[in-house]
Amino acid sequence: MPVKKSPAIKSSRPGRKVVAKKAPLKKAPLKKAPGVKLAAAKPARGKRKPVGPDAVREIFTRFQAVNPEPKGELEYVNPFTLLVAVVLSAQATDVGVNKATRSLFAVADTPEKMVALGEDAIREYVKTIGLFRNKAKNVYALSQLLIEKHSSEVPRERDVLETLPGVGRKTANVVLNMAFGQETIAVDTHLFRVSNRIPLALGATPLAIELGLEKIIPPQFMRHAHHWLILHGRYVCKARRPECERCVISDLCTSPEKRV
């Protein structure tokens, strides 16, 4: 019996034939045989849960016992110089900022003196700090605004502080906490890592961590909470190798990175 050939389709090119492709076969739905269980899909891996309220209280109780009055490491003489120091500390170490500001604050510890010094001179004082050109510009500009709009006083409101050049939410929170004793949480890279690692509050952004911590930290610890967490992250719960062997809260931490 002769074999039937697939029907030819005319091609746009003369003398060439194109063979039509057969339609793919549809697979029949999988049926369960009697007495046989189909494999269930694996459940998605659950997210880590923050430690409970009792653990949170115990964590900060231990931090307080070890360091009752934690201090920030930036050097300053008044709210204005603190504001300047924090603006300069963005993407820089506190040690490096302190080296530059000791001589700067000796000659300019008020907005008026800073403006009189001028942007070029400010730049010379802070040239050892990263991004020093833009930072010098911001320090000069914020000093001008403090004189013109705030009677040379550092504002005590976060939203007002954030209108100043070079001042973001973290900077504003540091100034409000350290200069005026307000219960704010300034989330830097160390605090962000520690909070997610323990975990206390989980979040993908500094703001999420800040708001999460505000909900769970007992009121008596709020004043110093961010300092304890920053110092813990800087000197113990380090990014590359957390020093769990000397951590005072290692038994309360549930991090998969824990080394003890």
* Intra-chain end-to-end CA distance of the chain, in Å: 80
- Residue 256 CA: distances (Å) to CA of 47, 188, 189, 243, 259: 12, 22, 19, 14, 8
DSSP string, 79-112: HHHHHHHHHHTTTS-HHHHHHHHHHHHHH--SHH
Pick the catalytic residue: 170, 215, 238, 251? 170
Residue 54 is among the residues annotated as catalytic for this protein = no
DSSP-assigned beta bridge partners for residue 18: 9
Residue 49 is predicted with a pLDDT of 93
Q: What are phi and psi of 181, to 5 degrees?
A: 70, 20
The pTM score is 0.79
Residue 17 is among the residues annotated as catalytic for this protein = no
Q: Which residues of the chain, if any, have pLDDT below 50?
A: 1, 3-4, 6-14, 18-20, 25, 27-46
Residue 257 is predicted with a pLDDT of 87
SS3 228: helix
Residue 47 is predicted with a pLDDT of 78
Residue 258 is predicted with a pLDDT of 86
Of 71, 120, 116, which is closest to residue 98 (Cα–Cα)? 71
Contact 66, 248 (CB under 8 A): yes
Residue 42 is predicted with a pLDDT of 36
Residue 43 is predicted with a pLDDT of 32
Rounded CA-CA distance 154/206 in Å is 24
Q: What is the DSSP letter of 157?
A: S
Task: Report the b/e string of 172-210 with b at 16+ CB within 10 A.
Answer: bbbbbbbbeebbbbbbbebbbbbbbbbbbbbbeebebbb
For the chain, list the domains and their CATH numbers: 53-70+185-246 (1.10.1670.10), 79-180 (1.10.340.30)
Pick the catalytic residue: 94, 137, 188, 215? 188
